[in-house]
Structures are given as C-alpha cells and as structure tokens.
C-alpha cells in the first residue's frame, strides 16, 4: 500500500483541521510514494520506540505525540530530536503523527466508553461548523454512584493501571465524571462548569488539585501515559481492519517512569 493512500485513510479518520493551531500533525518524515508493508504504532517517537520499529523493519511509524514540534535550524546528531529524525530518514521510515486531531475526534469517545459514561457530552468544544461539533474530553454520568475511593479503583480497572493520584476526600460521593486523557489541568474550570464531581485526567500539579478541591471537585490523576495509551490498540485495530495483509506491530505497554 502506498503511503499517501494510507495517509488519506488516516485523515478521513482524524482530519487535520481538527488539530490545534500550535500542533504539528501529519507526515513528518519520509516519502509519501513509498510502498508500506509494515507499520509500527507507539505513543511517542523515543529512542526505544524507533529502535523497536527498525527491528521490525517498519516502513511507517505512527505515534500520537509528534516528535517534531518546533522548527529545527540544523540536523545534527548532538541535538536529540534531530538525532532521532536522522535515524528515521537514514532508514527510510515514513513517520506520521496524529495528536490533537485524534484527541478531538476519537480519544474522548474511547475514554468515555471505557468508563461506561452515560450520555457523554463534549467537555470543551474546539470545532463547530456546519452542524459538526467536536472537542476535548467528555463528561457524563458514571454507571453507578460511588465514593471517590471506589471511583479511583474503577478508573484503575478500566484503564489497566497500577496506581492513580487522588485529590479530594475519599468518601466523597461521585455521580458525574469528566474525563480528558493526557494533560488536562487547563480544563479544570471547564469540568467544574459542567458540574463534574470528579475530573479524571493527567499531569495534575499540587496547586491544580488543591484549587479544584476548593471549588468542590475531586481530581483523579491517572497519568499522561496512563490513559493516552488507548491510542495504541485503537490504531492497531484500525490499521489491521483497513489493511488485512499489512504487518502491524505495537509498542509494549510500559510507563515511561518508575515509582520507587
């Protein structure tokens, strides 16, 4: 399958116009006319992920977070971003990123389904035109009333996590949940405005959690990787259904840090 034909399918799934203006999505390295037989899917284009992709002789690497965010003035190996790009180019690997366009079009819905949220609605609208409305996160009713402690265990079970960080009284009654995989501290006020009893997200700082509590909302920090890892199996399933003869490999599930 030719790379540009795969890109067409990916951009039907998550149109680039849904990405935020500061983002950098799409084909970041490679030849759009290259024949693609093997795909590797990961969350970030790290040294290890690129190494895995090369071991599998991948023709195309797809990640959620773009390796290339800021313009580069030079490609030299002592710059870590340039070094990784050089490895991809040297080995003729096409590299495609789908970040906030995936967040807006798909990530919120997957997360809401995993939590079995009832009547989920968009947490923060980022795109509205000609009857099409999309945005970050979802908010809805949990399948049953539970305490914050029970909700934390429920989140761990739903996303296969060993631990979460909780801000709030553990016996607080939780009915309505807002969820935003990734870094959601900038949308705490949106979750409060929507009447969420708890906001489930990642990268919540000390003061962010305390401030949310002071305004009556608990926070469960499931980690940036903790929830966004759902990108990997979703995209693997999508690619395998679209291209039956293509080899599709995925990043092993592992947090990029250790808690000791």
234 and 98 in contact (C-beta within 8 Å)?
no
Pick the CATH number of 3-98 from 3.30.465.10, 3.30.365.10, 3.40.50.2000, 3.40.1390.30: 3.40.1390.30
pLDDT tops 90 at residue 220: yes
> What is the structure's pLDDT at 249?
98
CATH hierarchy code of domain 102-225 = 3.40.1390.30
Average predicted confidence (pLDDT) for the chain: 96
For the chain, domain boundaries: 3-98, 102-225
Pairing of strands 173-183, 38-42: unpaired
Q: What is the pTM of this model?
A: 0.95
pLDDT tops 90 at residue 1: yes
Distance from the first to the final alpha carbon of the chain: 45
Average pLDDT over residues 55-61: 98
In tens, the pLDDT along 81-123 reads: 999 999 999 999 999 999 999 999 999 999 999 999 999 999 9
3-state secondary structure the chain: CEHHHHHHHHHHHCCHHHCCCCCCCEEEECCCCCECCEEEEECCCCHHHHHHHHHCCCCEEEECCCCCCCCCCCCCCCCHHHHHHHHHHHCCCEEEECCHHHHHHHHHHHHHHHHCCEEEEEEEEEEEECCEEEEEEEEEEEEEEEEHHHHHHHHHHHHCCCCCEEECCCCCEEEEEEEEEEECHHHHHHHHHCCCCEEEEECCCHHHHHHHHHCCCEEEECCHHHHHCCHHHHHHHHHHHHCCCCEEEECCCCCCCCCC
> What is the structure's pLDDT at 18?
96
> What is the structure's pLDDT at 260?
82
Higher model confidence: residue 254 or residue 249? 249
- CA-nearest of 236, 235, 231 to 111 is 231
- CA-nearest of 124, 118, 135, 121 to 19 is 135
Contacts of 70 (CB under 8 A, 6+ apart): none
In angstroms, rounded to a whole number, what is the distance separating the alpha carbons of residues 15 and 168?
Answer: 38
In tens, the pLDDT along 10-29 reads: 999 999 999 999 999 999 99
Which residue shows structure tokens 């970030």?
Answer: 44
Same CATH fold assignment for domains 3-98 and 102-225: yes
pLDDT tops 90 at residue 145: yes
> What is the structure's pLDDT at 132?
87
> What is the structure's pLDDT at 168?
98
pLDDT tops 90 at residue 131: no
Average pLDDT over residues 33-37: 98
pLDDT tops 90 at residue 253: no
């Amino acid at each position: 399958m030719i790379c540009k034909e795969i890109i067409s399918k990916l951009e039907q799934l998550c149109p680039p116009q849904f990405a935020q203006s500061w983002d950098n999505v799409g084909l970041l390295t490679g030849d759009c006319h290259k024949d693609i037989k093997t795909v590797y899917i990961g969350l970030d284009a790290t040294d290890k992920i690129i190494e895995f992709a090369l071991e599998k002789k991948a023709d195309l690497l797809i990640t959620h977070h773009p390796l290339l965010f800021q313009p580069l003035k030079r490609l030299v190996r002592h710059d870590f971003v340039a070094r990784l790009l050089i490895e991809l180019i040297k080995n003729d690997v096409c590299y495609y990123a789908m970040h906030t366009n995936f967040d807006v079009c798909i990530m919120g819905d997957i997360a809401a389904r995993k939590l079995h949220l009832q009547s989920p609605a968009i947490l923060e609208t980022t795109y509205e035109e000609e009857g099409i409305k999309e945005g970050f996160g979802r908010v809805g009713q949990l399948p049953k009333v539970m305490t914050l402690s029970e909700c934390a265990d429920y989140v761990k079970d739903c996303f296969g996590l060993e631990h979460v960080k909780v801000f709030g009284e553990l016996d607080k009654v939780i009915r309505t949940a807002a969820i935003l995989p990734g870094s959601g501290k900038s949308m705490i006020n949106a979750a409060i405005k929507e009447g969420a009893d708890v906001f489930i997200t990642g990268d919540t700082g000390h003061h962010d959690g305390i401030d949310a509590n002071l305004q009556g909302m608990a926070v469960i920090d499931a980690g940036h990787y903790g929830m966004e890892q759902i990108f990997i199996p979703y995209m693997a399933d999508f690619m395998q259904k679209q291209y039956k003869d293509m080899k599709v490999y995925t990043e092993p599930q592992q947090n990029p840090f250790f808690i000791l």
